[in-house]
Amino acid sequence: MSAVSSGAPRRRRRGKVVGFGGAALVVAAGAAAAVGVGGADAQEPVRSSAPPATATVTRTTLTRTETVNGTLGYGDATAVKARGSGGTITWLPAEGSRVARGKKLYEVDEDPVVLLYGSAPLYRTLSSGAEGADVSLLEKNLSALGYDGFTVDDEYTSATASAVSEWQEDLGVPETGTVSVGQVVVAAGEVRVAEHQLTPGDAANGPVLTYTGTTRVVTVDLEVDKQELVKKGVAATVELPAGTRVAGTVSSVGTVATTSGSNNDQVTTIDVTVTVKDQKALGTLDEAPVDVILQSEQRKDVLAVPVNALVALAEGGYGVQVVEGDASRYVAVETGMFAGGKVEISGAGIADGAVVGVPK
């Protein structure tokens, strides 16, 4: 069994916890002042009338959380720049559409500029005799697209040129057997067209369009004094505007801090990205504000009771009213973590399953 604190926005949640806990202790203090626990001996029973209600001491996991603001979307956009020798934009895919490997990302003078997958852009014209990682990238893509007859390595051979010519024939472009930097765009995977920077009829110069990944993520500008809450791989919970909660995972934590705001109200943040495996649970939301619930601390296998079971003792510290049949006694306890309306307690005579008094 696990107790997790509320996912309400941070300021409201803090107010609720402080107000609730403070009220419980103030009420308890008035009652406890008349009882005490029998001096220094915290185990000495003190008979008392039966409480109005009871709760059970449970062994559980307490989790303290912090709620921060995030934005659900497709992440940062990347600009695609025309890299040929001029020409005119003759076609663009619709904004929001997806483009996969081997498909055209845009057209210049009716010739397609094709998307390939990889980690680095082409920086030179590739032809027979070329060697290097860019050759390997091209050959891996040709192989993935179904072309063969060559060895996938870092050498551009005549066999590679033949496969390129076959590919160019299928694309409907001149069969040169060479690949120039203006004929392809390299991205990490399938892309989603975010925004047009040019329109058909414009000169093919500068940024043509921007793209993002195809998976929605949550981005958080996390204040630097809270960065201890996150690290790659840590679980997070995303609360959507309608109140639905979806499980997520911190996938990246920025290392460069950014300061924004005026001189009197500056905030320094780092970028945090949270991925969500269940994309269907996100509905159709895009660029939507969400709450991200981060786990700040956790205590496993502890004994806990409702916060309002605590009483302030006359001789100092806190205790609980242990109910034993028709009688009860006050037992001093040490408190630990407060989370989710519960508090960790320990002390002589406090055991899993014990019954304690609480106000109605």
- For each of the domains in the chain, give its residue range(s) and CATH number, in order of start: 2-65+299-358 (2.40.420.20), 67-74+216-297 (2.40.30.170), 78-212 (1.10.101.10)
Interacting residues of 30 by C-beta distance below 8 A, sequence separation 6+ = none
Q: Is 84 helix (H, G, I), strand (E, B) or coil?
A: coil
**Conformational region of residue 209, where left means phi above 0, alpha means psi within -120 to 50, and beta covers everything else:** beta
Q: CB–CB of 57/350 below 8 Å?
A: yes
How confident is the model over 136-144, as a mean pLDDT? 98
Structure tokens belonging to residue 133: 């990682």
Confidence class of residue 25 from pLDDT cuts 50, 70 and 90?
very low
Q: What mean pLDDT value characterizes the chain?
A: 87
Angle in degrees, 0-180, between the axes of helices 158-171 and 133-144, rounded to the nearest 10 = 50
Q: What is the value of pTM for the model shown?
A: 0.68
**How high is the pLDDT of residue 35?**
52
Q: Is 82 helix (H, G, I), strand (E, B) or coil?
A: coil
Q: CB–CB of 266/218 below 8 Å?
A: no
Q: How many CB atoms lie within 10 A of CB 198?
A: 18
Phi and psi angles of residue 121, each rounded to the nearest 5 degrees, phi first:
-75, 160
How confident is the model over 126-147, as a mean pLDDT? 98
Q: How far apart are the C-alpha atoms of 183 and 16, rounded to whole Å?
A: 59
Structure tokens belonging to residue 223: 């204040």
How confident is the model over 241-248, as a mean pLDDT? 95
**How high is the pLDDT of residue 13?**
34
Q: CB–CB of 32/313 below 8 Å?
A: yes
**How high is the pLDDT of residue 26?**
37
pLDDT tens, 150-199? 999 999 999 999 999 999 999 999 999 999 999 999 999 999 999 999 99
Q: Is 48 helix (H, G, I), strand (E, B) or coil?
A: coil
